[in-house]
């Protein structure tokens, strides 16, 4: 009698378990709020893109997508938090090229640039513009370069990410201005505020300062991109000015921790691609001088892998090391 009960109970338990797995696997996603980690302080270009995408995902998927700024260590702190999160689709990472592909090269991180993640979608590519503070006695890039070379007194530049630290150091080399001070800030928002407030002389900016450029509060000296920016048609590129070896650009993209179910990754990617293609999002991104992309996971993964390999080579060739 007891044996039959045990057998029956065991059989029923096995059926319940077999039925339970598909139910959990097919649970509607998302069924609760989703956290989108941004590894920088609020107000920078990555944060702005995150908030635009989070709002639209909330509307299309019916659950709040909450931006959580975790700045520090050139993006490493926020990335570490996201990488260690449960791979269930409820913690995502909105990141940029410097933190994703360069930081793991120059820091001893517990995560890998690509192997620790499930790429979801490359949202946009981002150029840089070199801006000078109001009152700096230069009208163009050539005058800035001459003043920086003279170094009397030394000029300063703000850097808010590992990418911009490296770009600033490379600029020092190519224009021959070894005394240019590379002042590091906790995020691109603080970096931009530093040049707006006149704390530093120049900065590589991801077009966060565009309103101040238009208002004459900072001066655009050169665009770091293959072509001129639509919003600054009169500002030449570094290539036009004959400045070589300054091939720096960034991007914004959405990722999930490694092991996140493929169905969730694909659903999020499909939604993000739809969002990026909308006229409203195209206008918002282009208004920041971002080039809208909206890629699939495979294309984004290839870009990260290529960037990682490139920065490994560049860091090795230049001997670049981050301060602090």
Q: Which residue ranges make up each domain of the chain? A: 34-125+249-318, 128-224
What whole-number distance in Å separates Cα of residue 276 and Cα of residue 185?
30
pTM: 0.82
In angstroms, the first-to-last Cα distance of the chain is 72
Written as six digits, the tokens of 149 are 């070379």
CB 149 within 8 A of CB 290: no
What whole-number distance in Å separates Cα of residue 61 and Cα of residue 161?
32
The second-level CATH assignment, the architecture, of 34-125+249-318 is 3-Layer(aba) Sandwich (3.40)
Written as six digits, the tokens of 100 are 């994703």
Residues 6+ apart with CB under 8 A from 175: 145, 148, 149, 243
Dihedral Cα 65, 68, 73, 76, nearest 10 deg? -40
**Do the domains spanning 34-125+249-318 and 128-224 agree at the CATH topology level?**
yes
| Angle subtended by helix axes 297-318 and 262-277, to nearest 10 | 90
Dihedral Cα 240, 241, 243, 248, nearest 10 deg? -50
Distances (CA, A) of 308 to 250, 265, 302: 13, 22, 10
What whole-number distance in Å separates Cα of residue 52 and Cα of residue 82?
20
Assigned fold of 128-224: D-Maltodextrin-Binding Protein; domain 2 (3.40.190)
Kindly calculate the radius of gyration of the chain based on its CA atoms and give it in whole angstroms: 23
Residue by residue, pLDDT tens for the chain (324 residues) are 444 444 444 443 443 333 333 334 567 999 999 999 999 989 888 999 999 999 999 999 999 999 999 998 889 999 999 999 999 999 999 999 999 999 999 999 999 999 999 999 999 999 999 999 999 999 999 999 999 999 999 999 999 888 899 999 999 999 999 999 999 998 888 999 999 999 999 999 989 899 999 999 999 999 999 899 999 999 999 999 999 989 888 999 999 999 999 999 999 999 999 999 999 999 999 998 999 999 999 999 999 999 999 899 888 888 887 765
Q: Taking Cα atoms as reference points, which of 187, 237, 189 lies closest to residue 209?
A: 189
What whole-number distance in Å separates Cα of residue 243 and Cα of residue 173?
11
What whole-number distance in Å separates Cα of residue 39 and Cα of residue 187?
9
Note the Cα 51 to chain centre separation in Å. 13
CB 229 within 8 A of CB 129: yes
What whole-number distance in Å separates Cα of residue 109 and Cα of residue 241?
37
């Amino acid at each position: 009698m007891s044996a039959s009960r045990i057998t029956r109970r065991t059989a029923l338990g096995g059926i319940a378990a077999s039925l339970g797995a598909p139910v959990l696997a097919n649970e509607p996603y998302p069924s609760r709020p989703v956290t989108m980690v941004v590894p920088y302080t609020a107000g920078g270009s990555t944060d702005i893109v995150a908030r635009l995408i989070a709002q639209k995902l909330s509307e299309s998927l019916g659950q709040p997508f909450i931006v959580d700024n975790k700045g520090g260590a050139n993006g490493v702190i926020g990335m570490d938090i996201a990488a260690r999160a449960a791979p269930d689709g409820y913690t995502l990472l909105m990141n940029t090229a410097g933190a994703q592909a360069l930081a793991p090269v120059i820091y001893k991180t517990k995560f890998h640039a690509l192997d620790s993640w499930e790429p979801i979608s490359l949202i946009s590519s981002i150029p840089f513009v070199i801006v000078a503070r109001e009152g700096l006695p230069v009208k163009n890039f050539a005058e800035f370069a001459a003043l920086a070379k003279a170094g009397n007194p030394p000029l300063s530049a703000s850097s808010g990410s590992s990418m911009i630290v490296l770009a600033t150091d490379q600029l020092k080399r190519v224009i021959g201005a070894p005394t240019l001070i590379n002042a590091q800030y906790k995020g691109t928002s603080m970096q931009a505020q530093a040049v707006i407030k006149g704390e530093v002389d120049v900065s590589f900016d991801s077009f966060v300062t565009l309103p101040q450029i238009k208002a004459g509060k900072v001066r655009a000296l050169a665009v770091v991109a293959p072509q001129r920016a639509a919003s600054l048609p009169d500002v030449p590129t570094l290539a036009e000015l004959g400045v070589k070896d300054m091939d720096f650009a960034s991007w914004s993209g959405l990722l999930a921790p490694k092991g996140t179910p493929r169905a969730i990754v694909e659903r999020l990617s499909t939604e993000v691609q739809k969002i990026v293609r909308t006229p409203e999002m195209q206008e918002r991104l282009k208004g920041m001088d971002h080039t809208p992309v909206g890629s699939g996971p495979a294309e984004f993964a290839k870009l990260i892998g290529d960037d990682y390999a490139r920065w490994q080579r560049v860091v090795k060739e230049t001997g670049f090391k981050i301060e602090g």
